[in-house]
Structure 1
Amino acid sequence: MANDFVRACAVGEVPAGEAIGVQVNGEPVAVVHTEDDQFFAIRDVCSHAEVPLSEGDVEGCTIECWLHGSQFDLRTGKPTGLPATEAVPTYETRISDGDVYVAVQTATQEPVK
């Protein structure tokens, strides 16, 4: 396992179609397990209201903020539904030996167009 990946949680801790909030190297991260068995990691802070995204609903590759309904693409962090207009950083994930690993220092944030 590469040095930049840190264990975030066990695969079994995140039911399909849900997210959990964890700390990875001091950063708040939402680990998301989609219904089609993919894992994503996104900063666990809504760019609109600064509340945990991990408490929101997951549908496909989208997570919705529970407070005002902002939606974010789990692959890019880009907002796909208002009121959010700023992207949220996403992190590369790897699965190994039943655990989810996240590389927070390699966060990507695509510019919003």
Structure 2
Amino acid sequence: MDDGIKVGTTGDIPEGEGRTIPKQLTGTDDDIAVLHDTDGTFWALNDTCTHADASLAEGWVENGCVECPIHSSKFDLKTGKVTGFPATKDAVCHRVEVRGGDIWLFPNETPTS
């Protein structure tokens, strides 16, 4: 997906929160959570926690991690790696770019930073 999908603006997602982008828009097997870290950066992971059927976009985002709202599994925003149990399977990452205040999502592309 060369051009990406515009999914909103930086003002649409407060720091520490996320937004679910439906799989019908992204063409992926799962919805995608676009997450706004407390340092101002934006990241994207598959929305469904790999431990239980919960939305990571509804979790807590801070210090480079997202915490699942149900059982507190944690995932690294840059890599998708599990950083807190009970999850044992990593989350899938997707590339995000911020351009002039707009958030662009590149489903199934590996993040560059």
| Post-superposition CA distance 1:53-90 (Å, at most 9, x none) | 11111121100001111000000001111110000101
Where does structure 2 lack aligned partners over 5 or more consecutive residues?
Answer: none
Contact in 2 for aligned 1:68/1:83 (Cα 8 Å): yes
TM-score in terms of structure 2 length: 0.86
Please, what is the CA RMSD of the aligned residues?
1.6
What is the number of equivalent residue pairs in this alignment? Answer: 107
Normalized per residue, the structure richer in strand is 1
Instruction: Name the SS for the 1:15 alignment partner.
Output: coil
Q: Percent of pairs identical after alignment? A: 36
Q: How does 1:8-47 map to 2 (within 5 A)?
A: 8-23=7-22, 24-27=25-28, 28-47=31-50
Instruction: Give 4+ residue runs of structure 1 displaced > 2 Å after superposition.
Output: none
Distance 1:5 1:14 in 2: 18
Q: Report what 1:102 is aligned to.
A: 105
Where does structure 1 lack aligned partners over 5 or more consecutive residues?
Answer: 109-113
TM-score in terms of structure 1 length: 0.86
How much does 1:36 deviate?
Answer: 1.2
Contact in 2 for aligned 1:4/1:105 (Cα 8 Å): no
